[in-house]
């Protein structure tokens, strides 16, 4: 059993890939000069996966189940995994996103022992009525913390207003009411449906030796027969559900998020589509853009302003976010600039400048083992190779970008989410 080497001559970079007999896909990306190792294992199961078919049976789970399962996997009959990591000196964590759940650690020594803990963690589910009930209070506190976070609420309020049917409009952690419905049977159902090693990916980057990774895998991984799990998503209309939503929270400066919804369909955006969108974002609203300078000069935004593009199975949107005391004026200015952009297209000069900025960000990403590890897993789940962006960007043309622009930033299909300060309404 040997690793396949994936090389990129342009970048002088390479990584190793192997399908382990257990079913797990293993990716190892050694970085010369790195003194630490970053390891991550992920499954393509996130908060949007509320309905699925497993072994011919249709299953619907409460909001927040994927996040709840992430919490519970750290607890086994042998004890808490965090305590085990403390003995090896590794820094461990996990996260649940809309699309994935990942478990990770970084270390500068005792890598083998830390990887063994990671493998045990994802292969040893231990759910009892008592332990599941105990977790409800912990996660309930986390939900309340998110409910009080202006940065989180401005985003979730935006998604809940934009998306009428798709489950991206549900909080990742669920609500206190929905997590009360979760029991051991539901957690085991999700675990057996999505935590099969044939559906998971391990990525290791930094000070990494492929053979050492393989030795631990051979020693610890159990054989998994493949399973078939089909995720189900409702049909989502093109139009936003609401064009405005607001909430009052104790903030010093109000927050805004202006989201432009797109047609998504099933599957994921291609690397070329993502590159074109990144160039549009940089040319239209990057720090060197005319729009950014104009908004800054008029004191409509500050340095917190940024753009973000999010896409997944059944959803795609581009959002402009930041602090402002004048959310309506910012929204109006951006939408007017969007209309003008569609009339004129992106200029050749702005295109070239933006393209160089995007390429620079791609190259810098290969300096960070944490970024590499996450991108390797994301690539496996979306069908995009980690080197693809660097290879394709030189061939992206102005025509490609303006063609992509035609399907983005629809000024008639957007929503403004605002977090107002308490003082504004008293």
CA 381 – CA 42 distance, rounded (Å): 9
Task: Give the per-residue pLDDT at 424.
Answer: 60
Tokens for 400, please give them.
Answer: 């490609």
Output the CATH code of domain 4-232.
Answer: 3.30.830.10
Return the number of other C-beta atoms located less than 10 Å from residue 276's C-beta.
Answer: 27
Torsion angle defined by CA atoms of residues 357, 360, 361 and 366, in that order, rounded to the nearest 10 degrees: 170
DSSP letter at 424? G
pLDDT in tens, the chain (426 residues): 799 999 999 899 999 999 999 999 999 999 998 999 999 999 999 999 999 999 889 999 999 999 999 999 998 777 788 999 999 999 999 999 999 999 999 999 999 999 999 999 999 999 999 989 888 888 999 999 989 999 999 999 999 999 999 999 999 999 999 999 999 999 999 999 999 999 999 999 999 999 999 999 999 999 999 998 999 999 999 999 999 999 999 999 999 999 999 998 778 999 999 999 999 999 999 999 999 999 999 999 999 999 999 999 999 999 999 999 999 999 999 999 999 999 999 999 999 999 999 999 999 999 999 999 999 999 999 999 999 999 999 999 999 999 999 999 999 999 999 999 987 654
Task: Give the per-residue pLDDT at 426.
Answer: 46
Q: Specify the pairing of strand 229-232 against strand 244-249.
A: unpaired
CATH superfamily for domain 244-424: Metalloenzyme, LuxS/M16 peptidase-like (3.30.830.10)
Tokens for 64, please give them.
Answer: 């927040």
Q: Are 62 and 178 in contact (CB under 8 A)?
A: yes
Instruction: Give span(s): CATH 3.30.830.10, the chain.
Output: 4-232, 244-424
Active site residue 70: yes
Task: Give the per-residue pLDDT at 93.
Answer: 95
* Active-site residue (options: 70, 189, 236, 323): 70
Question: What's the alpha-carbon Rg for the chain, to the nearest Å?
Answer: 23
* DSSP element (H, E) containing 54: strand 51-54
Enter the pTM of the model.
0.93
Q: Are 90 and 107 in contact (CB under 8 A)?
A: yes
């Amino acid at each position: 059993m040997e690793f396949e080497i994936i090389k990129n001559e342009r970048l002088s970079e390479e990584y190793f890939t192997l399908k382990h007999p257990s079913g797990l896909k293993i990716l190892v990306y050694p970085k010369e000069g790195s003194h630490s190792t970053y390891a991550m294992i992920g499954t393509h199961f996130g908060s949007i996966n509320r309905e699925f078919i497993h072994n011919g049976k249709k299953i619907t789970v409460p909001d927040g189940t994927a996040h709840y399962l992430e919490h519970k996997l750290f607890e086994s009959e042998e004890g808490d995994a965090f305590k085990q990591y403390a003995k090896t000196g590794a820094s461990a964590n996990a996260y649940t996103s809309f699309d994935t759940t990942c478990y990770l650690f970084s270390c500068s020594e005792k890598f083998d022992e830390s990887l063994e803990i990671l493998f045990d963690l994802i292969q040893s589910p231990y759910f009892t009525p008592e332990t599941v009930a105990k977790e409800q209070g912990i996660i309930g506190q986390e939900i309340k913390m998110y409910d009080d976070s202006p940065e989180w609420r401005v985003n979730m309020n935006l998604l809940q207003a934009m998306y009428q049917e798709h489950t991206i409009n549900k909080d990742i952690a669920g609500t206190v009411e929905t997590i009360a419905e979760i029991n051991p049977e539901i957690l085991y159902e999700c675990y057996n449906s999505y935590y099969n090693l044939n559906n998971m990916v391990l990525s290791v980057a930094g000070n990494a030796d492929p053979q050492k990774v393989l030795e631990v895998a051979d020693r610890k991984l159990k054989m998994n027969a493949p399973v078939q799990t089909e995720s189900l998503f409702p049909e989502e209309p093109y139009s936003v559900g609401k064009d405005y939503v607001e909430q009052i929270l104790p903030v010093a400066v109000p927050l805004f998020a202006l989201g432009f919804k797109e047609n998504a369909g099933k599957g994921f955006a291609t690397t070329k589509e993502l590159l074109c969108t990144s160039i549009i974002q940089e040319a239209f609203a990057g720090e060197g853009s005319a729009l950014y300078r104009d908004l800054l000069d008029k004191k409509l935004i500050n340095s917190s302003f940024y753009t973000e593009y999010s896409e997944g199975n059944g959803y795609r949107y581009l959002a402009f976010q930041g602090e402002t005391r004048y959310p309506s004026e910012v929204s109006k200015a951006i939408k007017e600039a969007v209309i003008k952009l569609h009339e004129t297209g992106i200029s050749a000069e702005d295109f070239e400048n933006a393209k160089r900025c995007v390429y620079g960000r791609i190259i810098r990403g290969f300096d960070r083992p944490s970024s590499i590890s996450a991108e390797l897993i994301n690539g496996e789940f979306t069908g995009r190779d980690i080197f693809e962006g660097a290879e394709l960007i030189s061939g992206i043309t102005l025509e490609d970008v303006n063609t992509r622009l035609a399907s983005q930033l629809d000024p008639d299909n957007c929503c403004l989410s605002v977090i107002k300060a308490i003082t504004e309404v008293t």
